[in-house]
Amino acid sequence: MNTNLLDFDLEGLTAYCEQLGEKRFRATQLFRWIHQRGASDFDQMTDLAKSLREKLKGRAHVTALPVVSEHVSTDGTVKWLFDVGDGNAVETVFIPEDDRGTLCVSSQAGCAVGCRFCSTGHQGFSRNLTTGEILAQLWFAEHALRKRLGKDERIISNVVMMGMGEPLQNYSALVPALRVMLDDHAYGMSRRRVTVSTSGVVPMVDRLSQDCAVALAVSLHAPNDPLRDNLVPLNKKYPIAELLDSCVRYLEFAPRDFLTFEYCMLDGVNDQPEHARQLIELVRARGNGKNWCKFNLIPFNPFPASGLLRSPSARVTEFAAILSNAGIVTTVRKTRGDDIDAACGQLAGDVKDRTRAAERMAKQRIIPLKQVS
Ligand code: SAH
Ligand code: SF4
């Protein structure tokens, strides 16, 4: 029995230490060594009693995931591929900016939602990551970057759960990982700086508002159900009206008074002025006239199997203008790390298609615009 201590939030580690007959504050010390100092060797943890260190050595370890590869982009973006066993791998991306450092973290190997514009979706679902595997990405990246940059202060200020996988379909592993990100004895991030991105698992949006209300980004991508059913198949289970209602409920608990909708701009599919107008109607029908959401338009990052193209930038600008003129704050996402395939939706990890999801999708057709607008 050998426990990876990265699997625990502070409450879990406290219970673990109590089982070993140790006082609660020992867990806090241990937790700080691991997450704040990046220590994995119990002998390094000099203020822990020798007897505790010995007990831990026989029973526990602090182990990150094996690194398969690391790529550094000309713009400073770093992408790691981590081995999660059984031929699966997940990706993690660090995006440096002037005023922050953002880590894009994966929650699953593959994804079961199967969005047709997403290369992770084309890969099918392999398995959920454990809490320790989610946190190992942050633990490793933070301490590897500190070492590399010769810094002793925090490098990663923000986490976005926008890597591979649907975080709200791995809820029980996600929540303890989020708690460690927020914990002052670990990474001490503010709730505004930790973002869960979801394709819309409605019941879990409600649960997250109660269990750990971090910032929420919702991947909308379409203004009506027929089109969204086609792009984000989970929409058949949780249609747009239900999803948007859950977003409004979430707002009451959210760290800011708005949430973000992500909208991937697909040439000739969801990028027409009519679609923008439909979005405005959806937004206006809720929130009692308040500005309750903003839109982040994502230029589609193409990959051959998708059969889709990026909207021309003039069309993105026009779409953004229609939303902005209606009073909806709208931004267009800069893509980063293009030269290392680190941009949104390009995270493929292990390219093996175990479940033949890609094959199935290639057979489907995008429904023509006239049927959906
Ligand atoms: N499963 C979650 C989080 C991971 S995807 C979700 O869907 O929200 C993170 C973001 O990247 C989502 O908004 C997703 O729609 C977007 N995305 C996926 N594939 C993309 C692509 N090829 N180009 C641009 N954005 C993409
Ligand atoms: Fe899964 Fe998100 Fe990709 Fe959709 S966009 S397949 S939910 S990772």
Contact partners, residue 366, CB within 8 Å, separation at least 6: 116, 230, 269, 307, 308
pLDDT at 304: 87
Same domain, 53 and 72: no
Binding site membership of 165 for ligand 2 (Cβ less than 6 Å): yes
Query: Euclidean distance between the first and final Cα of the chain, in Å?
Result: 57
Same domain, 150 and 259: yes
Residue list, ligand 1 pocket, CB within 6 Å: 117-118, 162, 166, 197-199, 219, 262, 264, 298, 300-301, 344-345
Q: Which of 40, 61, 82 is at the close of a domain? A: 61
Same domain, 179 and 247: yes
pLDDT at 83: 96
Distance of CA 220 from the midpoint of ligand 1 (Å): 10
Same domain, 174 and 274: yes
pLDDT at 346: 62
Same domain, 243 and 209: yes
Instruction: Assess contact for 9 and 179: CB atoms under 8 A.
Output: yes
Same domain, 38 and 118: no
Q: What is the CATH number of the domain that holds 162?
A: 3.20.20.70
pLDDT at 50: 93
Ligand 1: which atom is nearest the Cα of residue 303? 22
Ligand 2: which atom is nearest the Cα of residue 114? 6
Residues of the chain with pLDDT under 50: 350-354, 365-373
Q: Give the count of domains, the chain.
A: 2
Among 90, 93, 197, name the best residue to mutate to test ligand 1's pocket (greatest count of ligand atoms within 8 A of Cβ).
197
What separation in angstroms does the CA of 346 have from each of 122, 123, 294, 304?
A: 11, 11, 24, 11
Helix, strand or coil, per DSSP, at residue 189: coil
Ligand 1: which atom is nearest the Cα of residue 163? 4
Binding site membership of 120 for ligand 2 (Cβ less than 6 Å): yes
Instruction: Assess contact for 181 and 196: CB atoms under 8 A.
Output: no
pLDDT at 320: 98
pLDDT at 337: 75
pLDDT digits (tens, 9 = 90+) for 307-337: 999 999 999 999 999 999 999 999 998 877 7
Same domain, 23 and 57: yes
pLDDT at 181: 98
Binding site membership of 115 for ligand 2 (Cβ less than 6 Å): yes
Same domain, 188 and 94: yes
Same domain, 12 and 124: no
Distance of CA 100 from the midpoint of ligand 2 (Å): 25
Same domain, 203 and 239: yes
Q: What is the CATH number of the domain that holds 30?
A: 1.10.150.530
Q: How would you write 190-221 as a 3-class SS string?
A: CHHHEEEEECCCHHHHHHHHHHCCCEEEEECC
Q: Which of 61, 87, 104 is at the close of a domain? A: 61
Distance of CA 239 from the midpoint of ligand 2 (Å): 16
Closest CA to 8 of 84, 61, 44, 50: 61
Q: Using CA positions, which residue lies closest to atom 10 of ligand 1?
A: 162
Q: Using CA positions, which residue lies closest to atom 5 of ligand 1?
A: 162
Same domain, 36 and 123: no
- Structural domain including 37 reads 3-61
Instruction: Assess contact for 350 and 87: CB atoms under 8 A.
Output: yes
Helix, strand or coil, per DSSP, at residue 342: coil
Same domain, 9 and 150: no
Q: Using CA positions, which residue lies closest to atom 18 of ligand 1?
A: 345
Q: Which of 61, 77, 98 is at the close of a domain? A: 61
